[in-house]
Amino acid sequence: MAKKKDKEYVFRAQDFYDLLESQEYRCALTGRELKPENTTAEHIVPLRMGGRHELKNIYLIDQNVSRLKRYLSEEEVIRAAADIVRYRGNDYGFTLSLKGKKRK
């Protein structure tokens, strides 16, 4: 007899609104205000890095950073953002100070 396959998780509208509320309408990466029209659901651990498609591996982020997060881990996104601010931040009035762990 064939083994019963686990039912595949489907991200539903109610999941979206529950996450939006639980994140207090703030992007999990930038802290920017989220509204339904500027919000994207992404996997915390990308599928290509072994993440699973399940609710506990999904959070909401500003659509402007969603392409980065879809393919990179949080650490990779944050390191890239820090590099951008270090390299070009002065052009826009931003500086960066490092605390704690030093960059590898």
**Residue 36 lies inside a defined structural domain of this protein:** yes
Q: For residues 95 and 2, what is the distance between their CA atoms, to the nearest angstrom?
A: 59
Q: Hey, what amino acid is at 98?
A: L
Euclidean distance between CA atoms 45 and 15, whole angstroms = 18
Q: Which residues contact 66 (CB under 8 A, 6 or more apart)?
A: 40, 42
Task: Supply the pLDDT for residue 53.
Answer: 96
Residue 103 lies in a domain: no
Q: What is the pLDDT of residue 3?
A: 56
The predicted model gives 60-77 an average pLDDT of 92
pLDDT digits (tens, 9 = 90+) for 25-59: 999 999 999 999 999 999 999 999 999 999 999 99
Residue 20 located in a structural domain:
yes
pLDDT for the residue numbered 7: 82
Asked if residue 8 belongs to a domain, the reply is no
Number of domains in the chain: 1
Question: What confidence tens digit (pLDDT) does each residue in 78-91 have?
Answer: 999 999 999 999 99
Q: Is residue 26 part of a domain?
A: yes
**Domain range spanning residue 52?**
13-92
Which CATH number is 45's domain given? 1.10.30.50
What pLDDT score was predicted for residue 71?
87
Q: Is residue 1 a part of any domain in this protein?
A: no
54 near 10, Cβ under 8 Å?
Answer: no
- The CA distance from 89 to 69, in Å, is 21
